[in-house]
């Protein structure tokens, strides 16, 4: 762009864009009028929530790279073994794994507040006095082990003001810094782990959203399909009175309760790519009319269901079981 040089009194940086998320860049000339204009005209959040892309922030030690490589291996093994994981990465992670192009639009899935803030810069009128209204330069201040460190988006970026003419370049470079540069160390380690398990020509057949489904499964839950594909052991069968009561209670649950049931039995609250029928739920007969709660073998999708004598007792014990359990996953 046609950015102009800016001296130290210009107060560059991006604290108006991302606030406490990556540190602040102070205005050294204490120009109260300039700060007031910035506050009024630049309605940008002062803090941004942590990015779910691949935390933690770029100030973290490279020693964590091994942890990210192991997470990548786990995600790859989950696909290989058909296991659903509670790994809620934004879609851009899967696009990067497949080598697809990414851009400013992908930032909306990573940090909606920053995306909206940058969009507001693009939407400002051409005749806006950007230097006084925003006080931004082509640089980012990051927290580096407790100390502020300036990172230039272009050579000498801290001396180049954001203007009406170069704001598109600024937005594109800022998005690239968040999505690529700031996480390169940890994402590359994650990708190495993932591709060590899932690589080869077959991977190229998937789109990003399809790859995501293989890892985290489908959000839609068809419990009729789960019932149709279920198997029974220990004397239970599809027409057994206890089994008929079990499905009546289960179908009567709210969606969030059904998700808790899935977590209780399988360790995940989502369906595999082929739907709940692919879980092959097995309901095994437990003790006769017991005060024991149902239990489960999550590795095999097996529910151990006592032969409760009444629907009310079935409902009571089922709800107690699913409300007081937690599946495994990566948080």
Which residues are catalytic, by number? 299
CB atoms within 10 A of CB 315: 18
CA–CA separation, 126 and 220 (whole Å): 46
User: What is the largest distance, in Å, between two alpha-carbon atoms of the chain?
Assistant: 82
CB 139 within 8 A of CB 82: no
CA–CA separation, 179 and 295 (whole Å): 43
CB pairs under 8 A, 24+ apart, for 108-111? 110/51, 110/52, 110/53, 110/178, 110/179, 111/21, 111/48, 111/49, 111/51, 111/178
Q: Which of 256, 260, 258 is nearest to 224 (CA)?
A: 258
CA–CA separation, 289 and 307 (whole Å): 5
Q: Which of 193, 218, 182, 211 is nearest to 110 (CA)?
A: 182
Task: Take residue 247 and report the two structure tokens written for it.
Answer: 């499905």
Task: Take residue 143 and report the two structure tokens written for it.
Answer: 């927290």
CA–CA separation, 276 and 153 (whole Å): 47
CA–CA separation, 119 and 136 (whole Å): 15
Task: Take residue 244 and report the two structure tokens written for it.
Answer: 């008929």
Q: How many helices (H) and strands (E) are present in the chain, helices listed first? A: 14, 6
């Amino acid at each position: 762009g046609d950015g102009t040089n800016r001296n130290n009194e210009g107060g560059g940086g991006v604290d108006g864009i991302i606030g406490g998320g990556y540190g602040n860049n102070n205005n050294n000339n204490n120009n109260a009028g300039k700060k007031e204009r910035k506050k009024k005209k630049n309605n940008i959040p002062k803090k941004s929530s942590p990015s779910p892309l691949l935390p933690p922030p770029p100030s973290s030690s490279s020693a964590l790279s091994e942890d990210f490589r192991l997470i990548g291996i786990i995600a790859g093994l989950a696909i290989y073994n058909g296991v659903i994981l509670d790994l809620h990465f934004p879609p851009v992670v899967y696009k990067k794994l497949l080598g697809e192009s990414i851009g400013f639009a992908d930032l909306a899935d990573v940090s909606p507040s920053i995306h909206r803030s940058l969009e507001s810069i693009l939407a400002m009128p051409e005749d806006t006095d950007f230097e006084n209204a925003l006080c931004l330069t082509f640089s980012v201040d990051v927290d580096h082990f407790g100390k502020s460190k300036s990172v230039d988006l272009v050579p000498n970026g801290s001396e180049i003001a954001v203007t009406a003419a170069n704001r598109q370049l600024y937005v594109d470079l800022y998005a690239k810094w968040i999505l690529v540069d700031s996480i390169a160390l940890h994402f590359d380690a994650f990708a190495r782990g993932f591709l060590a398990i899932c690589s080869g020509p077959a991977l190229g057949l998937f789109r990003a959203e399809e790859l995501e489904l293989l890892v985290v499964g489908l959000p839609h839950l068809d419990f009729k399909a789960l019932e149709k594909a279920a198997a029974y052991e220990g004397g239970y069968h599809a027409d057994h009175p206890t089994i008929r009561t079990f499905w009546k209670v289960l179908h009567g649950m709210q969606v969030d309760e059904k998700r808790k049931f899935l977590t209780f039995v399988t360790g995940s609250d989502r369906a595999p790519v082929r739907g709940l029928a692919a879980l092959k739920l097995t309901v095994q007969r437990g003790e006769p009319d017991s005060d024991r709660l149902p239990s489960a073998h999550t590795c095999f999708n097996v529910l151990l269901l006592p032969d409760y004598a009444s629907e009310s007792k079935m409902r009571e014990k089922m709800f107690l079981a699913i409300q007081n359990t937690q599946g495994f996953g990566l948080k």
